[in-house]
Amino acid sequence: MTVSKDVSGGVALWRRIADAIRLDIVGGKLASGDRLPTEAFLAERFSANRHTVRRALAVLAEEGVVGAEQGRGTFVRSARRLSYPIGRRTRFREGLKGQAASLVSQGLSHRIENATAAVAAALGLKPGAKVVRTESLSIADGRPISRSTTWLPYRLFPDFAERIARLQSTTAVFASYGIADYARASTRISARHADVEETKLLGLAPGAILLVSEAVDVDSEAIPISYALSRFPAERMELVV
């Protein structure tokens, strides 16, 4: 089967069409229940054939973003996204309070490793210093909404993984170490396509867009205590700074 390509960047055209429709929904141009433009209109808009347009719509349908109704067209199924505020005092559970009936954090793995140059710089450590690395998945109302990797200085939090498994709250774990409060020192947000592992864990269709947050938290003395890389499905989450 031949797939249309975007000549400028080598990106499959069906993926570019799906991305554009997702962004229309995320940006509010299309709301839940709205009917999408016809295949003919989309084919003309993207200079594509109808087969390519149908593939893009099929991917969105797999994600549950759109759905076809016989004789009526294709409609936006769900434009509802959770809103996660990011500020000086960012707390995941507090930020999503009232937006989901259930919010579960599932620990995937943890290990002790030597800090890479990037991790060391974020935590104010020497490259190669010991750090605790944890992997987790957050689920709201049965839908995965975040895949996170967090690094912490081993000398400060040698048994962080065991405590987070018991207490189920980063704030509670920090409190157990005597850190009464902590703040967000920096957040960098970018966007990219999900890789194979992220697509599987987050239950996404190939080509789904992720919002990526790189964050550093510090204690009351401005000492870095955690560096986190979090990936959020763009059609399920919005980050409000």
Pairwise CA distance, residues 78 & 76, whole Å: 6
Among 59, 76, 93, the domain-final residue is 76
The pLDDT score that the predictor gives to residue 208 is: 83
Residue type for 91, please?
Answer: R
Total count of domains within the chain: 2
**Domain, as residue range, for 66:** 13-76
> Which burial class, exposed, middle or buried, applies to 24 when counting CB atoms under 10 A from its CB (0-12, 13-18, 19+)?
middle
Residues 236 and 144 in one domain: yes
Residue 165 lies in a domain: yes
Task: Check: CB of residue 139 under 8 Å from CB of residue 107.
Answer: no
Residue 8 lies in a domain: no
Identify the sign of the CA torsion 131, 233, 200, 2.
Answer: negative
Among 76, 106, 121, the domain-final residue is 76
Residues 182 and 225 in one domain: yes
The domain that holds 58 is classified in CATH as: 1.10.10.10
Q: At what angle do helices 50-63 and 13-26 cross, to 10 degrees?
A: 50
| Residue written as token pair 């999900």 | 194
Residues 102 and 22 in one domain: no
Neighbours of 1 (CB within 10 A): 4
Residues 70 and 92 in one domain: no
Residue 5 lies in a domain: no
Q: Are strands 224-233 and 143-153 parallel, antiparallel or unpaired?
A: antiparallel
Two structure tokens written together for 132: 């605790």
Residues 59 and 146 in one domain: no
Cα distances (angstroms) measured from residue 81 to each of 84, 100, 113, 167: 9, 10, 35, 28
Residues 60 and 128 in one domain: no
Residues 87 and 155 in one domain: yes
Residue 200's DSSP bridge partners are none
Pairwise CA distance, residues 67 & 55, whole Å: 13
Segment holding 103, helix H or strand E: strand 103-114
The separation between the first and the last C-alpha atoms of the chain, rounded to the nearest angstrom, is 43
Residue 33 lies in a domain: yes
pLDDT in tens, the chain (241 residues): 333 444 434 468 898 898 888 878 767 788 888 999 999 999 999 999 999 999 999 988 887 788 888 888 999 886 567 888 888 888 888 888 888 888 888 999 999 999 999 999 999 999 999 999 999 999 998 889 999 999 999 999 999 999 999 998 899 999 999 999 999 999 999 999 999 999 999 988 777 889 999 999 999 999 999 999 999 998 888 888 8
Q: What is the pLDDT of residues 12-50, one digit of tens each?
A: 889 889 888 887 876 778 888 899 999 999 999 999 999
Among 48, 76, 104, the domain-final residue is 76
Residues 108 and 227 in one domain: yes
Model confidence, pTM: 0.73
Residue 138 lies in a domain: yes
Residues 63 and 94 in one domain: no
Residue 1 lies in a domain: no
Residues 123 and 71 in one domain: no
The pLDDT score that the predictor gives to residue 195 is: 94
Residue 6 lies in a domain: no
Residues 159 and 228 in one domain: yes
